[in-house]
């Protein structure tokens, strides 16, 4: 990194054991904030500039609400942990209100057609992902002892967010699971 300030922010986040993706996204938004304020050091900016930046993201850049929240979290971290001047809780900015898009859902016949074209090597994993709602990493980490054949269920350990959960396995894929055993 060219900037000593951003290097300092990066090192502070490493010390606090932030995830690499969090560090990358926070640095991106902090840098965008500095550029938005004509490369003025953040210690010379405060609530008004943060409000203007967040409103700019909503009004001009048309970002999603979660993206705007991520930018706010990055700036909150900057001011609280780096500059030791926490932002006020009464920030007044235009909140992003982009309509959430409805997901595209396949019909049963489309799913059957898709699975019929799947290679045998990946068919069982895809059936688990579709039929039981498993995520890709959950399928790759799945072990045989996580499958309960009596109740047709699958135990997921340390899934998204480090949470454990149980899901049902379809009757049609239980034979495939047993043969994989």
Tell which wins on pLDDT, 140 or 99. Answer: 140
pLDDT in tens, 123-154: 888 888 888 888 988 898 888 888 888 888 88
> CA 12 to CA 80: how far, in whole Å?
12
Q: How confident is the model at residue 30 (pLDDT cuts 50, 70, 90)?
A: very high
- Count other C-beta atoms under 10 Å from residue 173's C-beta: 20
- The alpha helices in 37-153, defined as continuous H runs, are 47-59, 65-77, 108-116, 120-132, 136-140
Q: State residue 181's pLDDT score.
A: 62
Q: Is the pLDDT of residue 89 over 90?
A: no
Q: Is the pLDDT of residue 45 over 70?
A: yes
Q: Is the pLDDT of residue 98 over 80?
A: no
Identify the structural domains of the chain with CATH numbers, from first to last. Answer: 4-82 (1.10.150.130), 108-180 (1.10.443.10)
Residues of the chain with pLDDT > 70: what percent? 93
């Amino acid at each position: 990194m060219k900037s000593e300030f951003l290097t300092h922010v990066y090192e502070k986040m490493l010390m606090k054991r932030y995830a690499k993706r969090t560090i990358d996204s926070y640095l991106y938004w902090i840098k965008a904030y500095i550029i938005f304020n004509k490369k003025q050091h953040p210690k010379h900016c405060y609530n008004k500039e943060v409000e203007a930046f967040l409103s700019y993201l909503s009004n001009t850049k048309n970002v999603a609400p979660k993206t705007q929240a991520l930018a706010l979290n990055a700036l909150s971290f900057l001011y609280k942990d780096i500059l030791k001047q926490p932002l006020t809780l009464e920030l007044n900015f235009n909140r992003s209100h982009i309509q959430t898009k409805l997901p595209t859902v396949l019909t049963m016949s489309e799913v059957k057609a898709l699975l019929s074209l799947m290679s045998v090597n990946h068919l069982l994993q895809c059936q688990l992902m579709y039929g039981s709602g498993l995520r890709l990493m959950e399928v790759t980490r799945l072990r045989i002892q996580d499958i309960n054949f009596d109740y047709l269920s699958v135990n997921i350990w340390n899934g998204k967010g480090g949470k454990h959960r149980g899901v049902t396995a379809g009757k049609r894929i239980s034979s495939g699971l047993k043969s994989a055993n």
